[in-house]
Chains A and B, each alone.
Chain A
């Protein structure tokens, strides 16, 4: 690789060849560890089809970043070891003016990495029905089959949940049946919030006047955390709750109990709608 052969009799070694070998070996050793050891334990876990997809995405991203990280870190270490300035005068390298091979390689490799990630991300968003993020009121792709619609209503500072297929009952907590496709309709009654069900891999903005749709199919019975992930005022940090993924039978029992408990409130709720934006006169400005 080097245009200069090392001087005979113990002169400078071919640093380029030597470093490339070190980097290749390190990459070959690190990649299986990243993909097969670190990958399966990456967040957010495998609590739903969406979450599992995000684990795959994180593994792909990490695997692509690993050679780049190793290149930078190993070269830094290599330089420290091999190009350390000894005692005496301060040595400076020569100015580098134009190196077509280096420049072309750098542009091609970085462009390939970035563009391939853009293509990968786009495909994953499409095939994953939004990959857990809100896709707005008209998602480009929708999972086939029956879905359980649940409206997530954010306000300062609490989430509540409305079930249009169960008489429009609204609840303070969220339970979901395992193995059933859920269609979240996320909206807000005041400022911008964000509904983040961490273990389910769902994170959808809650905007006033917007019906933001996100899909998820919980795949195992578990407890999950719900946070607001958009700074929304004094008690933003308090917009926190635990939800549960339960069996079908348990869910049916729970939702009917909620219908009984919240019957007085259900009677005075407005008819189910995609959004409940307050009238402009109520916004205080």
Chain B
């Protein structure tokens, strides 16, 4: 483990020896300087290239990191005993080129703001209040991977209202999407539009007044301030790995945040 005396035995004064050596190739001082300058130029070039590459990568990552959809605030409802606000959403099978030029075929949630449908999944709601959610569901059914999530949890009364009828669960095979905020314990399954329905919506934005849809309403209570993730649990991204890629893995389509403020 330890070599006795190795460290000092036979030490050589390299500095002294080297000082007596001639310059290789008979270079004089000026030539040496020229050689060093060339090397320095190369080194500077490499450093500059690395820095430039780093800056470009940094710009790309930062532009990606700040490209999240804008936050949409819930609309306050006047006259309620408890502070209440509302969110109006729709789910669509294909978001379309107008709302998503890069991924027009992706399934998505949309939110209504000032009478227009906007592609955003980041919502702002007041703390310690009630949030009334209306979802116009235009997509067909895909079925839940885990039937357990077909039960409504965490809403006021532990129910949702589907097309005017209150219920505490749906048929798991008829699920099209879910609206789930795990940290709040809110689990709401959304049934799909029947295949035989007339006038289905192919591409968003879809018009609830004229196109086949299901209307789902529920209310949940917010607690303390914070940022809570929400997601769809139905594997509805057809054509992706386990039907859970693309829009299921991207904020702004089937996942987002509830900012409780």
Residues of A within 8 A of B (CB): 1-4, 12, 14-16, 19-20, 71, 75, 79, 83, 88-94, 96, 99, 102, 105-106, 109, 153, 155-158, 160, 170, 172, 189-191, 233-235, 238, 262, 264-265, 268-270, 276, 278, 282-285
> What are the residues of chain A within 8 A of B83 when measuring CB–CB?
none
Taking the closest CB of chain B, its distance from the CB of A221, in whole angstroms, is: 23
Indicate if the CB atoms of A96 and B242 lie closer than 8 Å.
Answer: no
Q: What is the CA–CA distance of A235 and B244 in the complex, to the nearest angstrom?
A: 12
Indicate if the CB atoms of A102 and B9 lie closer than 8 Å.
Answer: no
Indicate if the CB atoms of A4 and B5 lie closer than 8 Å.
Answer: yes
B168 located at the interface, meaning its Cβ lies under 8 Å from any Cβ of chain A in the complex: yes
B34 located at the interface, meaning its Cβ lies under 8 Å from any Cβ of chain A in the complex: no
Indicate if the CB atoms of A12 and B8 lie closer than 8 Å.
Answer: yes
> What are the residues of chain A within 8 A of B146 when measuring CB–CB?
153, 155, 160, 189, 276
Residues of B within 8 A of A (CB): 1-16, 19, 145-151, 153, 168-169, 171-172, 180, 182-183, 185, 187, 229, 231, 233, 235, 237-245, 248-251, 255
> What are the residues of chain B within 8 A of A158 when measuring CB–CB?
180, 182, 233
Find the B residue at minimum CB distance from A90: B15
Q: What is the CA–CA distance of A22 and B2 in the complex, to the nearest angstrom?
A: 13
Given A4-B4, A190-B145; A94-B241 close (CB under 8 Å)? no
Residue in contact with A155 in the complex, picked from B229, B233, B245, CB distance below 8 Å:
B233
Indicate if the CB atoms of B147 and A285 lie closer than 8 Å.
Answer: no
Q: What is the CA–CA distance of A2 and B242 in the complex, to the nearest angstrom?
A: 68
Given A89-B16, A268-B169; A238-B237 close (CB under 8 Å)? no
Residue in contact with B245 in the complex, picked from A20, A94, A157, A284, CB distance below 8 Å:
A284
Indicate if the CB atoms of A189 and B145 lie closer than 8 Å.
Answer: yes
Q: What is the CA–CA distance of A4 and B7 in the complex, to the nearest angstrom?
A: 12
Given A93-B8, A99-B3, A284-B235; A265-B169 close (CB under 8 Å)? yes
Indicate if the CB atoms of A155 and B1 lie closer than 8 Å.
Answer: no
Indicate if the CB atoms of B239 and A238 lie closer than 8 Å.
Answer: no
Find the B residue at minimum CB distance from A233: B249
Q: What is the CA–CA distance of A285 and B238 in the complex, to the nearest angstrom?
A: 9
Q: What is the CA–CA distance of A269 and B171 in the complex, to the nearest angstrom?
A: 10
> What are the residues of chain A within 8 A of B171 when measuring CB–CB?
268
Taking the closest CB of chain B, its distance from the CB of A275, in whole angstroms, is: 13
Indicate if the CB atoms of B242 and A283 lie closer than 8 Å.
Answer: yes
